[in-house]
Homo-oligomer: A and B are copies of this chain.
Amino acid sequence: MAVKKVKTKDKHIKNLARIVESPRSILYHEEDLISYDCDGFTLHRHLPKAVVFPKDTEQVAKLVKYCDDNELPFLARGAGTGLSGGAVPLNGEVIISLVRMKRLLQVDLENRYAVVEPGFINLKLTNSISDKGYYYAPDPSSQSCCTIGGNVAENAGGAHCLKYGVTTNHILGLEVVLPNGEIIEIGKDGVPDRPGYDLLGILTGSEGTLGIVTKITVRILKTPEAKQTVLAYFDEVTDGSQAVSDIISKGIVPAALEMMDKTAIEAVESASFPVGHPRDIEALLLIEVDGISAGIGEQIEQIMEVCNNRNVREVKVAQDEEERGRWWANRKTGFGAMGTISPDYLVQDGVIPRSKLPEVLNRINQISDKYGLRIANIFHAGDGNLHPLVLFDARNPGETESALKAGTECLQVCADVGGSITGEHGVGIEKKEEMRFVFSDDEIMAQTDVREVFNQKSLLNAGKLFPTPGRCVEVKIETKEAASV
């Protein structure tokens, strides 16, 4: 029996290996564990006790039960692309990796849903059904490698969430292993309405603190008949921001409405997919409209008119799918492209009321001046979801701390104008203290009380999401680590 080969005296490792039925389904040597010491948020690292790779729900439930019985901290991990540290094993957790549970279990086109295992890659779903004219809407930038299970945990967004909503709007059912090892199923067969409390809602976006999702029923949509994409260049950020509001005010709901500022344009034009954006403009908008062919032309005309009324320097429509693809590839390199203009960067993720866009961008400029650090802005303007990217060089003493402070101040600005501290990246470790910007103690307590119902022993992913002194593990910022991904 293969299990004999597990070479360790640690009884827990042996028992965990027995549950996953193979020594190839568990990692426990330090050199193997290093890849699992952080996720896409690299400022805090910690080695897990072990990483196990269950193959089905039953194994997940047994692993969880074992951890619960033996008081071993544990957490779930998908592709590890999260940007707020949700999968970092702060307490030396046993990591339950779901990457081997990656099957597409069912597709029901007539009732518009699909059932997947948590390790199934986001983009693969659209690729599996696009020939039949369907797609899965949430499209985080990491969609070619992130898992739908991770998307559920973080309630992931994406460029096209303005019209179609974030992950929570597309989840119809979940199978979940609770922290005590019980398996529950919420919603099934694509039926959207459920009586009782909205457990589906509370589990989606709970950042791996309430249970481990082992099966997911998602809504699939008909591929829009037509798409058109507009690119508009502005000499003034305010004009660009105002155009965003004007478009929405017209009653047009674009599928995507993205904005980049001058620094961001410099980066994407220096990276892998330059498309020739002028380097001297202050802002560009990338606007996509989709739907029935007949309505599209008129919406595009209205958008062009809005841009013209707001002193646009140039506005153009993608001439074909190839040009549209190039514009999007250019936009989607955004974060990574920062590497071309800065050794390190810290991405923030605030949300503001759309009408506050000019004011907030102005205040972010002031923060940039204050710390002497460039801040690039590349974001989902249509839904007010900002991504200020603080550029810094970790090799310069004190610069990482300054970048972190600048990032926090950006979030404070978002909160001050009535916004929030995360749109789609989650709170994780990164922003747990900043939760105080938007929630009172009572409001945080109402949430941690809910957590305790599910997660009584605090073994599952402790120290995340909430600033609860005495309950959470305190996190020290290890400034020696680079922040770039």
Contacts and interface: CB of A to CB of B under 8 A. Distances in A.
Interface size, A (range):
35 or more
Given A157-B193, A193-B423, 16 more contacts: A110-B249, A188-B418, A189-B353, A189-B419, A191-B420, A194-B438, A195-B426, A195-B431, A195-B465, A197-B210, A197-B451, A198-B204, A292-B295, A294-B297, A449-B454, A450-B453
A427 interface: yes
Q: How often does this chain occur in the complex, in copies?
A: 2
A191 B419 contact: yes
Interface of A: 108-112, 133, 157, 166, 168-169, 178, 182-186, 188-199, 201-202, 204-206, 210, 222-225, 245, 248-252, 291-299, 351-355, 383-385, 418-424, 426-427, 431, 435, 438-440, 442-444, 446-447, 449-454, 465-466
Given A198-B201, A442-B184, A422 B193 contact: yes
A202 B453 CA distance: 14
Contacts of A384: 191
Contacts of A294: 294-295, 297-298
B383 A192 contact: yes
A384 B201 CA distance: 21
A438 B186 CA distance: 9
A295 B292 CA distance: 6
Contacts of A252: 292
Contacts of A182: 442
9 contacts: A112-B248, A189-B353, A189-B418, A195-B422, A196-B439, A197-B206, A292-B298, A449-B454, A452-B453
B352 A193 contact: no
Contacts of A166: 193
A251 B133 contact: yes
A457 B296 CA distance: 56
Contact of A201 (B201, B248, B295, B353): B201
A199 B442 CA distance: 13
Contacts of A225: 251
A193 B110 CA distance: 31
Nearest to A109: B249
